[in-house]
């Protein structure tokens, strides 16, 4: 029997598997593909595995529904933080979680209703993201008689941001898949389509690498806010409306992501 918790953050849903108190012997990539199946499994955008850490208070691994491992997930880490807070911390509200993108500091806000994540500093170096393209040049890609201009950025995982006047008209299931797998992105990429509402508000659609269109993406939201600020479309604090709700990003030298997280249900699974 495998115990799990199903959690969501602005509609981005995850299965939490806690390995701290058990002998966990499963292949996590095969297991994740099975668990994320919305017909045959529990159903989720990804699975987050909780481990003990030698360099932080806890450690997380996140596996997308296609079995690939992500470096970091802003919504996922908020879900895991809420789980840790309720199970392990006895009221402690600030702690650290080790990820493939480094150690992240999280803070529980509003009696556990929201989580603030130190998302760190953005990476603009194409070599580090990585992107096979000339540094500081935007990437223009033709799709169905329209030109889409993409701006690469990394929040520990790769993103490209495209600003459009009406993102609801975008055929994201087609262009999202095309861009995710485009030749310039050796590790594939997450894709964000952003619509600037005003200096303090952005509307966003997200195509997540290894998942498809999702209701929300924490790193994608953060990357979009930073790129909008860099291009002087917005200020240092912005609310971003995604399909699953609203997130807040505060950006000076470092970025902070603030949003809700909640447990949907928990159970045991025969595998």
Residues known to be catalytic? 73, 217
Instruction: Give the C-alpha distances (Å, rounded to integers) separating 167 from 65, 144, 152.
Output: 25, 15, 18
Those residues with Cβ within 8 angstroms of residue 86's Cβ, 6 or more apart along the chain or in another chain:
112, 263
Residues 6+ apart with CB under 8 A from 45: 12, 13, 14, 36, 64, 65, 208, 211, 214
User: By the 8 A CB rule, do 88 and 73 touch?
Assistant: no
> With contact defined as beta carbons under 8 Å apart, do 161 and 150 qualify?
yes
Between the two ends of the chain, the Cα-to-Cα distance in Å is 7
């Amino acid at each position: 029997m495998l115990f799990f918790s199903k959690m969501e953050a602005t509609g981005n849903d995850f299965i939490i598997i806690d390995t701290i108190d058990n002998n966990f012997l499963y292949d996590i990539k095969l297991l994740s593909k099975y668990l994320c199946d919305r017909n045959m499994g529990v159903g989720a955008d990804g699975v987050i595995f909780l481990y003990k850490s030698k360099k932080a208070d806890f450690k997380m691994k996140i596996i997308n529904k296609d079995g690939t491992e992500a470096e970091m997930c802003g919504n996922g880490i908020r879900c895991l933080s809420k789980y840790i807070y309720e199970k392990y911390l006895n009221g402690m509200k600030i702690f650290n979680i080790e990820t493939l993108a480094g150690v992240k500091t999280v803070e529980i806000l509003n009696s556990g209703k929201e989580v603030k994540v130190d998302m760190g500093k953005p990476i603009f170096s194409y070599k580090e993201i990585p992107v096979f393209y000339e540094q500081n040049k935007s990437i223009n890609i033709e799709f169905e008689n329209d030109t889409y201009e993409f701006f690469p950025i990394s929040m520990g995982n790769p993103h490209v941001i495209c600003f459009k006047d009406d993102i609801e008209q975008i055929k994201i299931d087609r262009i999202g898949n095309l861009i995710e797998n485009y030749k310039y992105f050796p590790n594939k990429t997450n894709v964000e389509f952003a619509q600037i509402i005003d200096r303090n508000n952005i509307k966003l659609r997200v195509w997540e690498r290894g998942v498809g269109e999702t209701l929300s993406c924490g790193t994608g939201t953060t990357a979009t806010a930073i790129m909008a600020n860099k291009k002087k479309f917005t200020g240092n604090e912005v609310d971003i409306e995604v399909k699953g709700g609203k997130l807040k990003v505060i950006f000076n030298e470092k970025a902070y992501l603030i949003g809700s997280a909640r447990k949907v249900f928990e159970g045991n699974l025969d595998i």
